[in-house]
Amino acid sequence: MPDTGPPTHTIVDDFVAPVCDDLLEILYQDDDILLINKSSGLLRLSGKKPLNWDSVHGQEGVSPPFPEAKLPHRIDFGTSGIMVVGLNAASAQHLNRQFQTRTIQKRCVALLEGWVDGDHGWITEAIAKDKNYFPRVIICHTTGKAAISEYTVLQRLEQPRRSLVQFTPHTGRTHQLRVHRQAIGHPILGCNLYKSDRSERMADCLLIHASDLYFEHPTSREQLHGQCPCPF
């Protein structure tokens, strides 16, 4: 029998986002930037499928109020919270450089299954794409890229046991916080990709919120701290 090589796997991307009725909240606005509060369940950019048109960047049949706006800031579909938007090419380019050089500091708050051991710690598991299951990623020390997450336990809750945790990601890998939490046995509640037998059913949506953003204003060069209170 001839050697046909390694098995191939077909990646099927048939995801259609549920309708999101929540409106974007503008937290801050000037001539160069917006700080907005994105709802959980709203795409950052419109998808390829017509049914995935609604996003931070535009809605079907609605003229965008900021036609030159650019989105250098990435945030997961299921994550709520603060995002920075560049309102012109120059400000977007400056913000993009800050993200690339990791001079922008982000903080998130998440509710996890169980009680996390210790009040503070670091997770340094390398992350790679899961070639068999788009859009998942996996922990892989052979082909993965370095990923670093710092965390602080804010509160431990009872009935059922949960931990409210603040994260500071020091790298920006896809799904970094979600897969890092699953790797140590405390998945984020409501997550449909990185979960235990019960964690997804413990919340109606993904309970991770981008709460704080520290960055340099692209024009004034002032150091800014944007904040968006956690809704859960």
* Domain boundary assignment for the chain: 25-227
What pLDDT does residue 4 have? 43
From the list 32, 76, 119, 197, the catalytic residue is 76
What pLDDT does residue 13 have? 54
Q: Is 119 a catalytic residue?
A: no
What pLDDT does residue 69 have? 83
What pLDDT does residue 6 have? 41
Burial class of 60 by CB neighbour count within 10 A (0 to 12, 13 to 18, 19+): exposed
What pLDDT does residue 14 have? 56
3-state SS class at 154: strand
Which fold would CATH assign to domain 25-227?
A: Pseudouridine synthase (3.30.2350)
Please identify every stretch of the chain with a pLDDT value under 50, giving residue numbers as ranges: 1-12, 15, 17, 44-55, 62-63
Following DSSP, what letter does each residue of 52-91 receive, concatenated?
Answer: G--BTTBBTTB--S-TT-B------TT-EEEEEEESSHHH
What pLDDT does residue 9 have? 43
Give, in order, the Cα–Cα distances in Å from 196 to each of 29, 125, 159, 178. 40, 19, 17, 12
Parallel, antiparallel or unpaired: strands 223-227 and 208-216: antiparallel
